[in-house]
Chain A
Amino acid sequence: MELNTYKIRESVLLDHIRTDRFKKARLTITFVLPADNESYAKAALFLPTAMRATEKYRDFAALCRRCDELYAADISDMNSLRSGVCLVGLRAAMLGNEYINEDDRSEGFDVLGGVMEAMSQILLHPLLREDDLETEKLNFINRINAQVNDPFTFSLRRLREIVMKDMPGVITSDTAKEQAKKTDCQMLREFSESVLEKARLEFFYCGEESAERVKDLIEKHFSELLCEKSERAFSGLPERPAQNAEVNESGAYGQSHLLMGFRSGTVLDDKEFYAAELMNEIYGEGSISKLFLNVREKRSLCYFCGSGYDETNGIITVGCGINSEDRAEAQAEILCQLDEIRNGNISDAELEAAKQSIFSDCREAEDHPEDYEEFSRMARLFGGPLTIDEYRDGIAGVTKEQIADAARKTQLDAVYFLRGELKEDICDE
Chain B
Amino acid sequence: MGLGFFERLFGSSRGPSKKMAKERLQLVLIHDRTDITPELMDALRRDLIEVITRYMDVDEKNIELGMDRDEKEGQIALEASIPVLRLKRGSQIKAKPQA
**Do A and B assemble together?**
no
Chain A residues within CB distance 8 Å of chain B: none
Chain B residues within CB distance 8 Å of chain A: none
